Copies of this chain bind each other. A is one copy, B any other.
C-alpha cells in the first residue's frame, strides 16, 4: 500500500518526466509552467489510490492518472481565460503571463498530451478507460457552459446549481477513481461504487468550498472571505438564501446584490448577517454532510478489506476539512 505523499510524488515525477515534442518551445513553456506551479494532484492521486485498493501494483495506472491531471490543468488554463482570472495558485495565470492566444493554443495541446497518456494505458483496459475519461471531459465542458450560463441568469435553482457543480467538478473525480479501480482489477460493481463515491465527494467538496469562501478562515483557506459575495457569484448559499428568504430579508438581500458602489467589506458583512437570519450556514453544512455521508457509505460497500481503504478515506476526509 502506498500512502498519500508517496502517490503524490509518483505523479509529480511522472509530470516532470513527460517527454514533449519541443519543436516549438513557446507552445510547451506554458504547459510546463502550469504543471509545475503546484496543485494537490487530487484526481491522479485518487486514481492511484483506487487502483491500489485492488492491486499492489500501480504502474499501469500512472500514465492515465497523469492524463487526468493534464486534462484538469487544460481546463484551468482555458477557464482562467473565460473567467478573466489573472491569478492561479498565487501566480499569474497562463493568459496573464503570456497572452490569450498562447493560453488557447497551449491549452489545446494539453488536451492532446492527455490523450497521449491515455493511449498508453495497457491495452486490455485502454478502450474502457479512454471512454470513461472522454465522457467526463465532455461533461466538464458542459459544466463550464452551465456555469457561464448561470452567471448571466436571473434565477438559478438549487437543482440547476447542483447539476452544474456535478458536471464541472464531481464527474472528473468520479471518473478518476473509476479509472484507477478498473486498472487495478476492480470489478464493474466496485468501480461503479467508487464512481458514485467520487461523485458525491466532489459535490460535498464544492459545496464546502462555497461555504469556506464565506465562513472559512482566510489564513487557512488562502483567499479572503466573501470573494464570491463581492463578485455576486451564484454559489449554493446565495441560491438557498434567495430561495428561502422572504419579505424584508429577501428585499434587503436583493438590494445588497444589486448595489454597485457599496463598500465590499460592508456588503460581505451585511450579506452574512442576512444568511445567518436564514440559517444558510447550517443548511449548507447539512447538504455537504449528506453528500459526505453518502460518499463514505458507498466506499464502505466496496468489496475490499477496510484497511486498504485507509488512504482514500483519509484524502476524502481532508478534502472536506475533517482531518483536524
Complex Cα gap A299–B26 (Å)? 36
Q: Which of B21, B111, B148 is the one whose CB lies under 8 Å from A111? A: B111
Residues of B within 8 A of A112 (CB): 111, 134, 137-138, 141
Contacts A81-B104, A104-B104, A111-B108; A21 near B138 (Cβ below 8 A): yes
- Nearest chain B CB to A217 CB, angstrom units: 33
Complex Cα gap A101–B149 (Å)? 12
Q: Which of B23, B123, B137, B149 is the one whose CB lies under 8 Å from A127? A: B123
Residue A279 is within 8 A (CB to CB) of chain B in the complex:
no
Stretch in A113-121, A205-213, A245-253 touching the partner: A113-121
Residue A10 is within 8 A (CB to CB) of chain B in the complex:
no
Residues of B within 8 A of A125 (CB): none
Contact: A145 with B27, CB < 8 Å? yes
Contact: B138 with A26, CB < 8 Å? no
Interface of A is mostly: helix
Closest B residue by C-beta to A110: B141
Residue A126 is within 8 A (CB to CB) of chain B in the complex:
yes
List residues 125-168 of chain A with CB under 8 A from any CB of chain B.
126-127, 130-131, 134, 137-139, 141-142, 144-146, 148-149, 167
How many interface residues does chain A have, given as a range? 35 or more
Complex Cα gap A149–B100 (Å)? 14
Contact: A148 with B105, CB < 8 Å? yes
Contact: B145 with A24, CB < 8 Å? yes
Contact: B100 with A100, CB < 8 Å? yes
Q: Which of B24, B105, B119, B138 is the one whose CB lies under 8 Å from A113? A: B138
Complex Cα gap A131–B112 (Å)? 10
Contact: A78 with B105, CB < 8 Å? yes
Contact: A105 with B144, CB < 8 Å? yes
Closest B residue by C-beta to A27: B145
- Nearest chain B CB to A69 CB, angstrom units: 17
Residue A82 is within 8 A (CB to CB) of chain B in the complex:
yes
Complex Cα gap A149–B101 (Å)? 12
Complex Cα gap A144–B23 (Å)? 12
Residues of B within 8 A of A146 (CB): 23-24
Contacts A113-B138, A119-B127; A105 near B23 (Cβ below 8 A): no
Residue contacts A-B, CB under 8 angstroms, 18 given: A21-B138, A21-B142, A24-B145, A27-B142, A78-B105, A78-B108, A102-B148, A105-B141, A108-B108, A108-B141, A109-B142, A112-B138, A113-B138, A115-B130, A115-B137, A116-B138, A119-B131, A119-B134
Complex Cα gap A138–B115 (Å)? 10
List residues 68-85 of chain A with CB under 8 A from any CB of chain B.
78, 81-82
Known: A105-B141, A105-B148, A109-B141. 8 other contacts (CB 8 A): A26-B149, A27-B145, A108-B111, A109-B138, A111-B112, A115-B130, A116-B134, A123-B127
